[in-house]
Amino acid sequence: QVQLVESGGGLVQAGGSLRLSCAASGRTFSTYGMGWFRQAPGKEREFVARIRWSGGTTLYADSVKGRFTISRDNAKNTVYLQMNSLKPEDTAVYYCAVRSAGGSTWDYWGQGTQVTVSS
């Protein structure tokens, strides 16, 4: 019902920046929030950041707070993740997700975009 497409990943040196985008399409009228997760090889998927769709309030993982900024364009059904001061440990596949209103889980997921930070 909702399709998500991430873009903006790539290779960057430590200390550099990247901006990820995630465009949602389909039936997006019941979106409660959108978020970003990441998964590094051999590790579990972890929460990165989320933003509530109506109020725009944000929440960040401690590991990225102060370096990453999540934002959204409600009219475009798009969420962004501005990543600054990147570290090698930020290397992972980054996924965006949608949480529907009334739900308690992340309902829809994108295919992911690779972010590689070299030192």
**Max Cα–Cα distance, the chain, nearest Å:** 43
* Residue 82: band (very low, low, confident or very high) from pLDDT cuts 50, 70, 90: very high
Rounded Cα distance, 25 and 111, in Å: 14
The predicted structure's pLDDT at residue 101: 87
Q: Which residue has the tokens 């992340």?
A: 106
* Residue 60: band (very low, low, confident or very high) from pLDDT cuts 50, 70, 90: very high
Rounded Cα distance, 18 and 69, in Å: 11
The predicted structure's pLDDT at residue 46: 97
pLDDT, the chain, mean: 95
- What are the b/e assignments for 47-76, b being 16+ CB within 10 Å? bbbbbbbeeeebebeeebeeebbbebeeee
Give the mean model confidence (pLDDT) for residues 10-32. Answer: 93
pLDDT exceeds 80 at position 103 = no
Six-digit token string for 26: 């389909």
pLDDT exceeds 80 at position 88 = yes
pLDDT exceeds 90 at position 65 = yes
Element (H, E) at 52: strand 46-52
